[in-house]
Structure 1
Amino acid sequence: MIETTKKAQQLLVNCWRTHKEVSSAINALLASTLDTNSSLDSSKLSHLPSKILKMITDYLFVQLTECRHCGAFEAAAVCFHSLCKLLWLCKDKSRTNYSDILMPDEMLSKLIDCLTGESDDSLEICE
C-alpha cells in the first residue's frame, strides 16, 4: 500500500510539472512572435496558424478552470496574459485570419461564467 501511494504521489508531481512546463513552452512560443519593443513581428507570426492558437486557447481554458495546482495555474495565467497580448496586437493590426479565435475579453467572460457556474462548460471545474 505504501509503495502504491508513493508511486501515485510521484505520478501526480510529474503531472503538475508537465502542466507547468507545457504552459511555459507555450508562453515562450507566444513571446517569440513579439520583437524587442513588444510589437508584433509579422514574419514570426506564421509559426502560429489559427488552428494552433485555437488549441492553445482551449488548453489554457482547461488549465484556468480545472487546475488545482497553484504553480501550474500560475504558469497558465502567465501564458494567458501572453496570449491576450498577442491577440490584442493582431486585432489592432486588423489580422482577420484569427477570426475564429475568441478575443481576450470574450475568453475572460467565458472563464468567469465557468467559474461562477453560469456556463455549461463548468461541468469539469474543480471545486
Structure 2
Amino acid sequence: MNNSDEYYYSESHVWLEQQGTGIFTLGITEHAQDSLGDIVFVELPAEGQEFAAGEACAVIESVKSASDVVMPISGEIIAINQQLVEMPELINQEPFNNGWIVRFRSDLPIEEVTAELMTAMDYDAFLDQ
C-alpha cells in the first residue's frame, strides 16, 4: 500500500497530519476504508469534546459493519468534517484528503506524539505482518 510520509499512523488504522503546533487532522487509512467497504454513515463528535488516547471519537458505519475511530493521542476536538454528514462516502473516495474526520488540539509535545505512532514505512510493514 502506498501510504504518505506526510502522516503518522496508528495500529487502529487512523492517520494524523500535523497542521501546526499542537493541531492535528485525523482520518482513517486507505486500508481501514477498504476493509469497511462502502461507508453509509459517520457519527461525529461535537466541537469542544475532549478524548483520551484510546477513546472512540467517532463511529463509521458501512454496509458491512460499524467501527469506532480511536483517538491515538488525547486531545480536544476543534473542527469536524461537516461534509461527511451528507457525503460519508468521501472517506472511501479520499481518505487522506476530503475524507478527514476531525481536527483536534493536543498539548503533547510532538516528540511524544511521534513516539506513539508509526511512519508510513512502519505502517506498511505493520500491514504486511
TM over 0.5: no
Larger Rg, first or second structure (1 or 2): 1
Structure with the largest fraction of helix? 1
TM-score, normalising length from structure 2?
A: 0.29
User: Which structure carries more relative contact order (alpha carbon 8 Å, separation 6+)?
Assistant: 2
- TM-score when normalising by structure 1: 0.30
User: Which structure: greater strand fraction?
Assistant: 2
